[in-house]
Amino acid sequence: MSQQPRLTDADVMQYLQDHPDFFIGKDDLLADLRVPHNSGQATSLVERQLSVHRERNVELRQRLSDLLENARRNDQLFEKSRRLVLALVEAENWLAVQAALDDSLRKDFNVDAWALLHFTERNLDEPLIAIRSAETQRQIHRMFKGHRAVCGQLDPTEIALLLASPQTECRSVAAAQVRGQGNIGALVVASEDPGYYRSSMDTLFLDYIADILALRLPQIPVA
């Protein structure tokens, strides 16, 4: 007499996966099944399924909320960026560019400090910042370590150098090189919060504005 093959847990699991409607119409069976909780208590399979669905719904609602919040922030960033780009395009000279950046970065982006550095031998009137020293230019270039942008915590003396300031209370910084034809420099934003700008942050927005400055500045007069 041949022995019947023994069903394994894997066989049962595979069958139920292949027949997800197996329990339809079998309410008595569902009520009798028990699934232990981590606490050791047991509930019916129906109750356990409801609990799992509730947990998944909470997780899905949280994911949806996060997506909507990210979309809202992206919309706000796009609108702020659009206003700044239009102001830079409409600027008739470097002083107007400086004013547009100051208005946007301080009001829209709430930066604690910022600077647009021009690597040039020309004498520029304030608030334009000319970095005429070749050694200072090399020091700033070295901070980027061969990258287009730098972001994170730096020594206060390095942040002060990037801001062209004798000293600063800022403890984190984001900077992008401006590499235009006949115009080289850096756009720098800084925060007094050491964790505000982190090395893991994306510098796409700053790179984008730096690219616009690289194109726009050579097209317009200084003043």
Is it true that domain 92-219 has CATH number 3.40.1640.10?
Answer: no
Domain boundaries, the chain: 9-90, 92-219
Residue at 33: amino acid letter: L
**Mind spelling out the 3-state secondary structure of the chain?**
CCCCCCCCHHHHHHHHHHCCCCCCCCHHHHHHCEEECCCCCEEEHHHHHHHHHHHHHHHHHHHHHHHHHHHHHHHHHHHHHHHHHHHHHHCCCHHHHHHHHHHHHHHHCCCCEEEEEECCCCCCCCCCEECCCHHHHHHHHHHCCCCCEEEEECCHHHHHHHCCCCCCCCCEEEEEEEEECCEEEEEEEEECCCCCCCCCCCCHHHHHHHHHHHHHHHHCCCC
The pLDDT value given to residue 91? 97
Pairing of strands 149-153, 172-180: antiparallel
The pLDDT value given to residue 10? 87
The pLDDT value given to residue 82? 94
The pLDDT value given to residue 9? 85
Say if CB 174 and CB 151 are below 8 A apart: yes
The pLDDT value given to residue 32? 64
Q: What is the dihedral of CA 182, 109, 93, 213, to 10 degrees?
A: 20
The pLDDT value given to residue 94? 96
Identify the segments of the chain with pLDDT beneath 50. Answer: 1
